[in-house]
Amino acid sequence: MQQSTPTAYVFEGFRLDLARRRLADPDGRVLPLPARAYDVLAHLVENRARVVSKDELMRAVWSRVVVEENNLNQAIYNIRRALGDSRETPRFIVTVAGRGYQFVAETRPERDAPAIGPAPTAEAPAAGEPAAPTPVTEEELPTAVAPAPLAASTPAPAPPAATRSRRWLLAAGVAAVAALAGSAYWLGRPRGTRGLPASIAVLPFKPLVVSAANEAVELGLTESMINRLSELSGIVVSPLSSVRRYSDPGVDPQEAGRTLRVAAVLDGHVQVENDRLRLTARLVDVNDGSSLWAGSFNENLDDFFRVQESLANQLVRALSLELSDAQRDRLARPDTTDAEAWQLYLNGRYHWDRKTEDGFLRSIEFYEAAARRDPSFALPHVGLADAYAVLGVFNLRPPGAVFPLARAAAERAIAIDAQLGEAHASLGHVATQFDRDWREGERLYRHALDLRPNHAQAVMWLANSHLMQGRIPEALAEARHAQLLEPMSLTFGANVGMVLSYAGRLDAALEQLAGLVEAAPESPVARHHLARLHIFRGEPLQAIRMLEGFHARAPGSLGNLGRAYALAGRADDARTQAAQLQALGTEGLGVGYDVALIRAALGEREPALAALEQSLTDHSQMVGFINVDPGFAGIRAEPRFRAVVGRLGLG
């Protein structure tokens, strides 16, 4: 006789009740688990005999919406937290690098098992009626939600406009909603309709010959095409951070386009060899897989920029875009006409994207070489400005040494091309972090966005400027907007978590940051933001576990371990940390603000105030957040504290 379907699973005393959608601990207590996390756990348990890919989990659990991978990472974190599991020493869920997850605990199915917990108050649906979907709370809203792409023969139904608008006004602002809605609308329109917004993804160019691969050139060409097309109105272009995962030669461009929610995908191959450029590309209609356009080039490397211009113009024609004369001029104007300078710049970008100290320093070498090769090439100067500035912000080099270099590079870029939005944003970053001229920094960020509205870095910096000046709703909206522009960027996702932390939305911040650390445990930015959040939540032991033995730096990282020691009652260790920071201060690093937070956590009012006064002159990089950091709650009313705030211009 065939066995009945299991109604529950038991593993190491835990009980997963499928009938009531509950997870109970060995003592029978129902554990709090968000609905999506429960669905992920159930799918893993039911398929425990094999590794389950991330794509399968996302299709199974979020079948009716399109989400980013961070939502799955957050669900896995919530499951491990409920079960007392960990990524490093897993008892239940093992992460299989590059493949997915597997549930590994010995499991016993139960059949006709009694339910745990009280019965749901809602009535069960009558026979033949569909079950009601699980409600999604604001905390469970995915990072990016849009109508899921349907089969080619099925028109995509529009989601309820009022609900969608309400949620995204809370999360990201009207501009991002319009961009996503425009992309989804064009997706369902007949090909050849003119005057409508288009959505496109430029997938990473692949090597024609694998043994001759050049990742810097391949990603550089991809980024260049994305940037060119992004400057045109009437077209929504997926950012580089979203498409980088599709660099494998075996990627199906049509499937990638469906996942990215775009109407068309540019898929191509490129190779540079013996001063020759070989490039093939085709524009694929995501709806039916047909080719909207295809072309190939075999030219001298010196003609690379003419090839880029030709490729961009042919794409515009294939997408039926109407361009103004100014847009055509911009599309035709290359950033440089020197192929070697361009390759040097691409190598700089490649190393910058590594987001390590060595990567930043190597990027400077290549940017400087590119600028020497072509003094009229503005982008290497923007790269230099950002690389020097981040060395200061990450406390990798003395701010007083690197920020003047960053300023000079940004000003040089503006002198070359006053319409380059990235350069104005970089100068605004210097004004904010080094000059502490909050209003000038904000002005420059806004001017940068006037020139390039979708420059996510400027949007993120503007979000932090709002936060420093106490404008919490605006900070959250801009931070969410930056993440929507670059949904796969760990940096922008972590920044949302940081803003939520300072805004006091600690549970939402935990959801945001935990998934990022689960996905990239060695990322210093996400790790330090999450450790600081544990400090805010009164969980110093968790912060200590995250930070002991972890030496990579990130913005605001210097004082985190000392604060956690102080709150955990390890006063001597906290004072040792403060003394070590003061020693770093003698090397030119800005440490006063971090020392003040450690002293405040120890309850040492006078030393905390003295360290804050020191931060006025030592270029402490996080001092702009003085009014929103809960670590100063005990001394905020002190006249000396208010005097520091006043001198910073944040009173």
How big is the CA angle at 41 (ends 40 and 44), to the nearest 5 degrees? 85
**47: which 2 tokens?**
């398929």
H/E stretch holding 578 reads helix 571-585
Q: What's the average model confidence in pLDDT over 26-49? A: 87
The confidence score (pLDDT) of residue 159 equals 34
Q: Which of 150, 151, 216 lies closest to 159, judged by CA? A: 150
Query: Is the pLDDT reported for residue 342 higher than 80?
Result: yes
pLDDT classification of 190: cutoffs 50, 70, 90:
very low
pLDDT band at 161 (very low <50, low <70, confident <90, very high): very low
Structure confidence by residue, pLDDT tens digits, 375-389: 999 999 999 999 999
Cβ-count burial 418-441 (b if 16+ within 10 Å, e if not): eebbbbbbbbbbbbbbbebebeeb
Tens digits of per-residue pLDDT, 565-601? 999 999 999 999 999 999 999 999 999 999 999 999 9
Q: How many Cα atoms sit within 13 Å of 338 on the Cβ side? A: 16
pLDDT number for residue 227: 78
Residue 153 has which token pair? 């023969």
User: Vertex 491, ends 486 and 493: CA angle to 5°?
Assistant: 65
Q: Is pLDDT at 537 greater than 80 in this prediction? A: yes
What pLDDT is stored for residue 586 in this prediction? 95
Alpha carbons 629 and 456: distance in angstroms, whole number = 25
Taking the alpha carbons of 207, 212, 216, 220 in that order, is the dihedral positive or negative? Answer: negative
Q: State the pLDDT confidence band at 172, using cuts at 50, 70 and 90.
A: very low
* Percentage of the chain lying above the pLDDT 70 cut: 79
Of residues 150 and 291, which shows the higher confidence score? 291
The answer on pLDDT for 617 being more than 50 is: yes
Residues 456 and 462 sit within 8 Å (Cβ to Cβ): no
Lowest mean pLDDT among 12-26, 203-217, 253-267, 457-471: 203-217
Question: 2: which 2 tokens?
Answer: 């065939």
Does residue 346 carry a pLDDT above 80? yes
Residue 196 — very low, low, confident or very high, per pLDDT cuts 50/70/90? very low
Judged on CB neighbours under 10 Å (0-12, 13-18, 19+), 81 is: middle
pLDDT at 66: 52
**Measured between alpha carbons, how far is 113 from 17 in angstroms, rounded to an integer?**
8
pLDDT per position as a tens digit, 260-305: 888 889 898 888 777 777 888 888 888 888 888 887 877 776 666 6
What residues pair up with 271 in beta bridges, in sequence order? 278
Q: Which residues in 275-419 belong to E strands, given as ranges? A: 276-285, 291-300
Per residue in 458-490, is it b (16+ CB within 10 Å) or e — as a string?
bbbbbbbbbbbbeebebbbbbbbbbbbbbbbbb
Is the confidence at residue 169, as pLDDT, over 50? no
Ramachandran quadrant class, 28 (left: phi over 0; alpha: psi -120 to 50; beta: rest): left
Instruction: Read off the pLDDT of each residue in 415-439 and give the average, rounded to a whole number.
Output: 96
Q: Please state, in angstroms and rounded to a whole number, the distance separating the CA atoms of residues 530 and 6.
A: 38
Which domains does the chain carry? 8-110 (1.10.10.10), 198-334 (3.40.50.10610), 558-651 (no CATH)
pLDDT exceeds 70 at position 3: no
- Does position 162 have pLDDT exceeding 70, yes or no? no
Which pLDDT band holds residue 452 (cuts at 50, 70, 90)? confident
| Mean pLDDT, residues 147-155 taken together | 32
Q: What is the rounded CA–CA span in Å between residue 146 and residue 334? A: 35
* Calpha distance 606→202 (Å, rounded): 57
d(CA 143, CA 127): 35
1 pLDDT exceeds 90? Answer: no
Whether residue 429 is predicted with pLDDT greater than 80 in this model: the reply is yes
Q: Decide: 282 and 269 in contact? Cβ < 8 Å.
A: no
Pairwise CA distance, residues 21 & 36, whole Å = 11
- H or E element in which residue 260 lies: helix 253-260
What is the model's pLDDT at position 30?
87
Q: Compute the mean pLDDT over every residue in the chain, rounded to the nearest whole number.
A: 81
The pLDDT value given to residue 115 = 46
58 contacts 68 by C-beta, under 8 angstroms: no
Does the pLDDT value for residue 251 go beyond 90? no
CA-to-CA separations, 163 to 42, 159, 169, 174, in angstroms, rounded = 29, 8, 10, 13
Contact between residue 242 and residue 488 where contact means Cβ atoms under 8 Å apart: yes
DSSP assignment, residue 273?
A: E
Q: Is the pLDDT of residue 321 over 70?
A: no
Gyration radius from the chain CA atoms:
26
Q: Which residue has the higher pLDDT, 94 or 233?
A: 94
How many CB atoms neighbour CB 162 within 10 A? 8
pLDDT tens digits along 49-104: 888 888 888 888 876 555 566 678 888 888 988 888 887 778 899 888 777 899 98
- Alpha-carbon distance of 500 to 507, in angstroms, equals 9
| Cβ 143 vs Cβ 70: under 8 Å | yes
Please, which pLDDT band fits residue 319 given cuts at 50, 70 and 90?
low
Kind and range of the H or E element at 269? strand 264-273
How many angstroms separate the CA atoms of 580 and 519, rounded? 31
The rounded percent of the chain whose pLDDT value lies above 90 is: 44
Give the pLDDT band of residue 21 (cuts 50, 70, 90).
Answer: confident
What one-letter code names the amino acid at 401?
A
Q: Which of 195-199, 372-376, 414-418, 608-612 has the lowest mean pLDDT?
A: 195-199
Mean pLDDT highest for which of 21-35, 357-371, 513-527? 357-371
- CB–CB of 202/282 below 8 Å? no
Give the DSSP letter string of 458-474. HHHHHHHHHHHTT-HHH
Q: Specify the DSSP class assigned to residue 138.
A: G
Report the candidate in 637, 645, 562 with the shortest Cα–Cα distance to residue 601.
562
